[in-house]
Amino acid sequence: SQQGEEDPQALSIQEGENATMNCSYKTSINNLQWYRQNSGRGLVHLILIRSNEREKHSGRLRVTLDTSKKSSSLLITASRAADTASYFCATDNYGQNFVFGPGTRLSVLP
C-alpha cells in the first residue's frame, strides 16, 4: 500500500535556485523521513521529522510537516548539480511497514 505521494514527479531547476518537493500521505503517522537516491544506487537518509514537530533543518535542507493536511515539504536551498537525484518521502504509520512514495526526480542544471 503506497502511503506517501511526492509532487512533482520531476523537477528541473538551475544551479543556485531553491527546489521544493512535497509529500502527501493518507493515514496518521508516527514520523516521516526523506531520502535521496542517486541514479540506481542505494537510498541515503536525509532527515527525520516526528509527528509533533513542524519544521526541521539540516544544512541546506528544510523539512516541514503539517499533520492537519497530512503533508510534508522538502526545501533544498541554493541547489548544486550534485543535488541531482530522486527524493523519496517515507512514512512510519505505526505498523511494521515503512512506506515509500514513488519519488521526485530532481535535475539541477549547471
Partner 1 sequence: EAQVTQNPRYLITVTGKKLTVTCSQNMNHEYMSWYRQDPGLGLRQIYYSMNVEVTDKGDVPEGYKVSRKEKRNFPLILESPSPNQTSLYFCASSLSRAGRTEAFFGQGTRLTVV
Whose cell is 530522486? That residue is 86
The answer to the question of residue 61 lying near partner 1 (CB under 8 A) is: no
In angstroms, the CA 47 to CA 34 distance is 6
Binding piece for partner 1, criterion CB under 8 A, among 19-27, 56-64, 76-84, 94-102 = 94-102
The answer to the question of residue 45 lying near partner 1 (CB under 8 A) is: yes
Helix (H) or strand (E) holding 48: strand 43-50
| 3-class SS of residue 18 | coil
The answer to the question of residue 13 lying near partner 1 (CB under 8 A) is: no
Using CB under 8 A as the criterion, which residues of the chain lie in contact with partner 1 when the complex forms? 1-2, 30-31, 33, 35, 40-45, 48, 88, 90-93, 95-103
